[in-house]
Structure 1
Amino acid sequence: MAKKWGIAAVVLYAAYAIGMYFYIFHGASGNIPATLKGTVADPQTFMTERELYLSEEYSKIRNFLFFVVTPFEWLVYFLILFTGLSKAFEKWADISKKWRFVKNGAYLFLLYLFTTVLFYPIDVYRYQLSKNYGISTQEFSSFMRDYIIDFWVSFGTTLIVVLVLYWLIQKSPKRWWLHAWLLTIPFAIFMMYIQPVLIDPLYNDFYPLQDKELESKILALADEANIPAEHVFEVNMSEKTNALNAYVTGIGDHSRIVLWDTTLNSLTDKEILFIMAHEMGHYVQKHIYIGIGAYILTILAGLWLISKIMPWLISKFGTALKIEQMSDIRSLPLLLVLVSFLLFVSNPISNLVSRYQETRADEYAMELTGDAQSAVSTFQNLAKAGLSEVNPSFLVKVFRYTHPPMLERINTVAKFAVKNETIPETENKTKNSAEHTEAE
């Protein structure tokens, strides 16, 4: 029975991967709408032919990897169960008859190490892909350093979660999901609080913005937005990437506005001020706290669904999966599959909310700066630096894009500029297309 299920899972995955290959490389279309051709939103107006080619090629490969690697993880976990490897891990981890948490911790380490080694070639390929296309500048030794740090940080946080979770499942088989959710709230807030000061510095060096003149401009902008800010931080990402970025992280007195040094080196002060105004828009509109609330509610729904689905799967297919009861640590691969699957299928909703928030932040930045020219050039430079797909296909946008595609962001700026009559004369073609879009 287990062998048949394993073969069926492999065949199903292969069929899915082939289907996604044809969709991504031959079926998906991200053509520029006729109304936007020749405008500043059209990548042909700001990218070279080589950049256009590399952008299309690089995006397709990355999109294909996204859609096939996550289901491949599910396949691996199912095969670990079907083949009895999970049961073997449990047996090897049984080094303490008295302390169950020692056994569970040892099992997790074996599983984590096994899957890390298994997926290592894929991670190296992704690194090399980014390097080949000129996005990554990171040396392999630095990549491996980050890889090892990430292993132990991820394992440490997962260990805490798994030990507590299986202890709750054992103690309260019916209500474990509710107790786990209640514990998740302070844990999630604690992790968000310490990440900027304890976790992020493990990977990069953070320091106050060295350009004090620019910092004064940013702080003046923050003051105009009624945001209490004393420092802006920069991070030395040029050692690892050519991509551009800025973000807000943390909560409370540990919250930070962070600029990558690649952004500082590649954009003008006006463009950087627009990016900062965008990040301030997230703060003013309380997107961080809305995100925390949505995350907590999502965890509640996910834990409740797992509490219903997992016992049912074990009762129906426990023999093939070699799982006797949910409280057995050998059931962890099944739990991880369910968590990953629920996160994957919820991507369209979470991404939709995120894209809405990003659009609101763009609009806020336009209201605060009134600088349409810098907004457009910022988005163009971001697209060029990251070889971004300006107008992705439907499934790619729905499942992958937490930000609106650059085509939409530039057009949003154009519509805002038309509405407020601040659009530069050099962007008349964009103005016409924006008016056309509004008429539709």
Structure 2
Amino acid sequence: MKKALWFGLGFVMFAILMWYYLFHWANTELPLHLKGTAADPSMFMNERQQELSHEFSRMKDFIYFISVPLNWLIYLLVLGFGLSKKFREASSGVTRFSIIHTALYVLLLSIVSYILTFPLDYYSYTVSKEYNVSVQSFSGWMKDGLISFWVDYLFTVLTVLVIFFFIRKSKRRWWFYAWLVSIPFTIFLYFIQPVVIDPLYNDFYPLKDKVLKERILALADRADIPASNVYEVNMSEKTNSLNAYVNGIGSNLRIVLWDTTLKQLSENQVLFVMAHEMGHYVMHHLYWNLLIAFIESFIGLFLGNKLYQWAVNRFGDRWGIKGVEDIAGLPVLLLIFALLSFAVSPVESAISRKVEYDADKYAIEMTKDPKAAVGAFQKLTISGLSEVNPPKLVKFFLYDHPTMLDRISFLEDYQMSREPKVKEKKK
């Protein structure tokens, strides 16, 4: 009980420190040489929009930094209060089939995690609603949350069944066999994402604007992307934010636009956004993401195995875990993977920012319309109340895209680099 109180106190102190850092200490002043440029929020946002952007970004960042250690704390509490042992005993007393034991155990653990994280998730939802970024009804939000719960539960059960099957077969090499199985499974997920998982949350239909559709397909043809259709998704029922993407692999490749993007961006701005997404496809970023995921999972499973063996040997008796093959050890494994994932997130974000920068460069070279590109990023900033120049710690952990300051500055530099050539042609 004392340790639980210390963990709780530590969590509160961390929350206070993060609050002061984000709202009082972090420096987000615009560099002097960029004031008055297209990257300066005062040039495309009114004072109220700038205030809302600052407040909303800080609140969302704070919620993220609180949610991460909260998940760690939940796993520790489940172990420390003996809940994991009780879940194992409860699930094993229902039937003699081990598959059902595992499914029931994961269900109990998932329900506890869902209940304990619900207040923070709900707070995040209300913040988005308050700042008019989200327009989704509470019932719609709950529906999406429950869909996510059961989708996550299904994949977690499958993953846990595979991992503990291999642990029981080989306590030393299970991590390698699990990694081998994860390769085709990950590829399968990439393949079914656009046609099975995404439609659970939203309605997808062919782009209604025929003229824009032809222009996008012509752009795709120039990029040698084998697309025969462009899809629109009804995100305006949920948000005022803008987005577009190209996802899926093989025959399930899809070009998708949020209807909010279509409503708020001009045609040329939409084309720049789509050229950016096509750049990911042309430069094989989807496949690079897969390769990186395989490398990360290999290292993560290897380190996870070492740490899991150590933790169970060190604390197993105290937590009521009989051995590494005991399903009651799952919270330990999940905690380890969560910690490793957080540790590697700055590296992932840095790689992703480089990838997004390359896609921006590809898009502007393809469309050669920096004015439309800058306008698109400015509208993206306003619609999502994004912060142009976020705190360094936020950028380090959270930003998998370049900041709007970096993106718009790059486009302005690109435009300036082309101006002399235009003048020379006029002469």
Instruction: With the length of structure 2 as denominator, give the TM-score of the two structures.
Output: 0.96
Which of the numbers 310, 316, 339 marks the counterpart of 2:337? Answer: 339
Q: 1:141/1:365 Cα in 2 relative to 1: closer, same or farther (>3 Å)?
A: same
Q: Distance between the aligned counterparts of 2:40 and 2:247, measured in 1? A: 32
Structure 2 counterpart of 1:199, one-letter code: I
Q: Distance between the aligned counterparts of 2:227 and 2:28, measured in 1? A: 40
Residue deviations 1:95-116 (CA, integer Å, cap 9, x gap): 3563222211111111111211
Could you say which residue in structure 1 is the equivalent of 2:112? 114
1:318 offset after TM fit, Å? 2.4
Could you say which residue in structure 1 is the equivalent of 2:314? 316
- Are 2:28 and 1:37 equivalent residues in the alignment? no
Q: Distance between the aligned counterparts of 1:194 and 1:422, measured in 2? A: 48
Could you say which residue in structure 1 is the equivalent of 2:68? 70
1:194 offset after TM fit, Å? 0.6
Segment of structure 1 superposing worse, 224-233 or 292-301:
224-233
Q: 1:355/1:365 Cα in 2 relative to 1: closer, same or farther (>3 Å)?
A: same
Could you say which residue in structure 2 is the equivalent of 1:17? 15
Segment of structure 1 superposing worse, 241-250 or 99-108:
99-108
Residue deviations 1:271-309 (CA, integer Å, cap 9, x gap): 000001101111111101000100011001000001101
- Are 2:270 and 1:305 equivalent residues in the alignment? no
1:424 offset after TM fit, Å? 10
Q: Distance between the aligned counterparts of 1:303 and 1:83, measured in 2? A: 27
1:63 offset after TM fit, Å? 0.5
Identical positions, percent:
46
Could you say which residue in structure 2 is the equivalent of 1:132? 130
Residue deviations 1:201-254 (CA, integer Å, cap 9, x gap): 011000111101001111111122222221111100000100000011111110
Q: Distance between the aligned counterparts of 1:70 and 1:12, measured in 2? A: 14
Could you say which residue in structure 1 is the equivalent of 2:389? 391
Q: Distance between the aligned counterparts of 2:215 and 2:328, measured in 1? A: 56
Could you say which residue in structure 1 is the equivalent of 2:403? 405
Alignment of structure 1 residues 102-181 onto 2, 5 Å: 102-181=100-179
Which of the numbers 265, 277, 289 marks the counterpart of 1:279? Answer: 277
Instruction: With the length of structure 1 as denominator, give the TM-score of the two structures.
Output: 0.93
Q: Distance between the aligned counterparts of 2:87 and 2:231, measured in 1? A: 45
Segment of structure 1 superposing worse, 153-162 or 413-422:
413-422
Matched residues, number: 423
Q: 1:424/1:314 Cα in 2 relative to 1: closer, same or farther (>3 Å)?
A: farther
Could you say which residue in structure 1 is the equivalent of 2:47? 49
| Structure 2 gap ranges (5+) | none
1:369 offset after TM fit, Å? 0.6
Q: 1:304/1:86 Cα in 2 relative to 1: closer, same or farther (>3 Å)?
A: same
Could you say which residue in structure 2 is the equivalent of 1:435? none
1:18 offset after TM fit, Å? 2.0
Which of the numbers 372, 375, 379 marks the counterpart of 2:373? Answer: 375
Structure 2 counterpart of 1:44, one-letter code: S
Q: Distance between the aligned counterparts of 1:177 and 1:353, measured in 2? A: 26
| Structure 1 gap ranges (5+) | 426-440
- Are 2:383 and 1:417 equivalent residues in the alignment? no
Alignment of structure 1 residues 233-252 onto 2, 5 Å: 233-252=231-250
Q: Distance between the aligned counterparts of 1:272 and 1:8, measured in 2? A: 52
Residue deviations 1:128-186 (CA, integer Å, cap 9, x gap): 11111001111111111111111111111111111111111111101000000000001
Confirm or deny: 8 A CA contact 1:206 1:235 kept in the other structure: yes
Structure 2 counterpart of 1:353, one-letter code: I
Q: Distance between the aligned counterparts of 1:187 and 1:418, measured in 2? A: 47
Alignment of structure 1 residues 178-327 onto 2, 5 Å: 178-327=176-325
Q: Distance between the aligned counterparts of 2:238 and 2:352, measured in 1? A: 26
Q: Distance between the aligned counterparts of 1:353 and 1:71, measured in 2? A: 24
Confirm or deny: 8 A CA contact 2:276 2:359 kept in the other structure: yes
Could you say which residue in structure 2 is the equivalent of 1:59? 57
Structure 2 counterpart of 1:82, one-letter code: G
CA RMSD of aligned residues (A): 1.5
Q: Distance between the aligned counterparts of 1:352 and 1:299, measured in 2? A: 18
Residue deviations 1:356-405 (CA, integer Å, cap 9, x gap): 01000000111001101001000000000000011011110011111101
Runs of 4+ in structure 1 off by over 4 angstroms are: 422-425
Could you say which residue in structure 2 is the equivalent of 1:428? none
Confirm or deny: 8 A CA contact 2:57 2:387 kept in the other structure: yes
Could you say which residue in structure 2 is the equivalent of 1:365? 363
Q: Distance between the aligned counterparts of 1:267 and 1:383, measured in 2? A: 12
Confirm or deny: 8 A CA contact 1:82 1:322 kept in the other structure: no
Q: 1:415/1:146 Cα in 2 relative to 1: closer, same or farther (>3 Å)?
A: same
Q: Distance between the aligned counterparts of 1:9 and 1:308, measured in 2? A: 24
Confirm or deny: 8 A CA contact 2:377 2:408 kept in the other structure: yes
Secondary structure of 1:421's counterpart equals helix
Q: Distance between the aligned counterparts of 1:281 and 1:265, measured in 2? A: 23
Confirm or deny: 8 A CA contact 1:87 1:330 kept in the other structure: yes
